[in-house]
Structure 1
Amino acid sequence: MQSKLKVALAITLLTLSLTSVAEPKRPECVAPAKPGGGFDLTCKLAQSGLVDLKLLDKPLRVTFMPGGIGAVAYNAMVGQRAKDNNSIVAFSTGSLLNLAQGKFGRYTEKDVRWLAVVGADYGAITVSSNSPYNTLDDLIQALKKDPSKVVFGAGGTIGGQDWMQVALLARAAQVDPRKLRYVAFEGGGETLTAMLGGHIGASSSGLGEVLPQVEAGKIRVLAVLSDERLAGAYNYIPTAKEQGYNISWPVIRGFYMGPKVSDEDFTWWQQRFEKMLAMPEFDQLRTQRGLFPMNLTGKELEQSIYQQVETFRALATEFDLIK
């Protein structure tokens, strides 16, 4: 009887310890780029979901920490803010690709705590609405004729996610990716400004981050990099695959925390995200931002990320991106 009481008491104390963890005093979502791109979108989605759905009592600030397409924020969280229980940091598939290539310095995918994935986007090849390229094949034929005549722009350096989408497209079209003209920007917002200003001819990004400009008629999507046409309002956008180019690039969007955040604080955030992801109202918020369902947390997410980074290391080696 005493042993049963001890077990019951231990369970009660554990439950109380988890539920008694205080809400962070100044909850913050760090977007590791300038405003206007995919990281901004990811933080704004968490802001709407956690605050509007009453899962946070305090406002969730969105702050910006550009530099190295995520490297500055990653290094800050690991090296300077390792115990910071206030802050979650947005990441994407591109972050994992950069980690695979060692672009975050001495830190690896095992140096942070992966919190949650809240949705998926898909890569997209876009041009301005007045571009001479009306279809993906128009763009491909121009590349085949003279790769130097088409200037691509995207948020990230050579080897980054947006560049990789263009490189895979070039390879599928039998064009040497090393001959592409590519201009790197610090985030999707700067890329869009450059394309609308006529400074670049085409862009690679996530579909979700350009949808406002698509809906405003400012840019045109030549292809979405999904296996099949997307459901609902975006079903009119052709895939690269159906146009003869076998490329697919899903873009996960989620959050991580510092490596020394306590288990109690980490669990507090994880529980909030799991509640949010289970709510139909959140699904509506996600859809409004052009994202599609993908829900992962905890150990399942951690293992998925470790496997993805290994896959990207192999891909980066194939493109001679790892020295």
Structure 2
Amino acid sequence: MKKLGIAAVLSATLMAPAAMAELSELRIMAPAGPGGGWDQTARSIQSTLQAEGLVSNIQVENVAGAGGTIGLQQFVNRSSGDPAATIVGGYVMVGAVIANDSPVSLTDVTPLARLTGEYVVVVAGADSPINNAEDLAAALAEDAGSVTWAGGSAGGVDHIAAGLFAQAADVDPATINYIPYSGGGEALAAILGGQVTVGVSGFSEFSAQIEAGSVKVIGITAPERQDYLDAPTFAEQGYDVEVQNWRMIAGAPGITDEQKAELVGTIETMAGSEAWAEVLASRGWVDTFLAGDEFTDYLNGEIEATAAILTELGITE
């Protein structure tokens, strides 16, 4: 993934004077329930924009369901031409649009910027007999249907990660018993309550429970160990599973080029701030900033590639 350094971001910002003007209002839709990655992203944007004095009035709204596609449809239908309306989303939504046969897609909004990336972790309850990737693979091989996975929406990055692990363990991905939840809080409750075998999500959604010892990490989908997590990757355990969940912010359909440029400039300024750098470090998010037309091209490529992956894994036809 292409990554812009802070210097490049600041340079781009200086070339866009409108970006430095304070916006009077901004609304961010988080198309998921409280506690999940999109909610965390929306509220982190809110707090950073406020701390940097970039927006006078900013509000976050949660609209959960179907991997973000319910919120996306509502956003597209009611926000056309509104320069104050934005929505967060990401890789999960790309797959959910396909898996849920959504009547609207990310091609119906105005992409502004890719903000962050986050590797996926698989966790089990502290008392679970599954302690590592080998244990999980053995359980799948014995009876794939008896191993329940709690994660985000069907077709999203969590589902893809589960499918990739099954594939790496020589188990048909189509046989996995994946249970989608609309928010990270609901999935976590199922894991802690022993209702599912393992949970799949970004590190930030499980970080407090990992630190408290109420869940244990089976593996992370990074190519190498991460400084923020004392746990092995799937790759070092012999299972080729690498996937990163990126998150973005988009504007409403039908806004003008000038309105888009102002929003992109504001987000660029935010992404170059020390306050945002602190957010990334505290949550274990990787800086994958990419804005404007470059991000639009990247997004179109991800839509095409994800459709192929979902078909290959047997998640969609």
Task: Classify 1:150/1:259 alpha carbon distance in 2 versus 1 (closer, same or farther; 3 Å).
Answer: same
Report what 2:194 is aligned to: 198
Q: Give the distance between the partners of 1:297 and 1:57, measured in 2 at CA.
A: 23
* Aligned counterparts of 1:106 and 1:181: Cα–Cα separation in 2: 26
Deviations 1:73-126 (A, max 9, x none): 111222221122222211121112223x26352333321111112211011111
CA distance in 1, matches of 2:50, 2:188: 29
Q: Is the 8 A contact 1:31 1:63 kept in 2?
A: yes
Q: 1:134 aligns with which of 125, 131, 136?
A: 131
SS in 2 for 1:110: helix
1:153 paired with 2:150, answer: yes
Asked whether 1:77 is paired with 2:83, we answer no
Q: Equivalents in 2 of 1:57, 1:22: separation in Å?
A: 7
Structure 2 Cα separation of the partners of residues 102 and 260 of structure 1: 26
Please state if 1:223 is matched with 2:222.
no
For 2:37, the equivalent position in structure 1 comes to 38
Aligned counterparts of 1:131 and 1:320: Cα–Cα separation in 2:
28
Q: Does 2:272 align with 1:275?
A: no
User: How many percent of aligned residue pairs carry the same amino acid?
Assistant: 28
Q: Is the 8 A contact 2:144 2:176 kept in 1?
A: yes
- The letter for the 1-side match of 2:233 is T
Gaps of 5+ in 2: 1-15
Q: Give the structure 2 partner of residue 124 of structure 1.
A: 121
- Of the three residues 251, 257, 263, the one matched with 2:251 is 257
Unaligned ranges ≥5, structure 1: 1-14
CA RMSD between the two structures: 2.0
| CA distance in structure 1 between the aligned counterparts of 2:205 and 2:88, rounded to whole angstroms | 14
> What do the CA deviations read for 1:232-276 (whole angstroms, capped 9, x no partner)?
232x22111111111111111111111112222222221111111
Deviations 1:171-214 (A, max 9, x none): 11011222222222112110001110111110111122211221
> Aligned pair in 2 of structure 1 residues 207, 19: CA closer, same or farther (>3 Å)?
closer
Structure 2 equivalent of residue 23 of structure 1: 23
Match of 1:94 in 2: 92
Distance verdict in 2 for CA 1:61–1:104, change over 3 Å = farther
**Offset of residue 37 of structure 1:** 0.7
Matching residue within 165, 172, 180 for 1:169: 165
Q: What TM-score do the two structures reach when normalised by structure 2?
A: 0.89
Structure with higher Rg: it is 1
Paired with 1:89 and 1:215, the residues of 2 have a C-alpha distance of 31
Moved over 6 A (4+): 19-22
CA 1:317–1:45: 2 relative to 1, 3 Å: same
For the residue of structure 2 that corresponds to 1:28, the secondary structure is strand
Secondary structure (helix, strand or coil) at the match of 2:28 reads strand
Question: What is the SS of the residue equivalent to 1:80?
Answer: helix
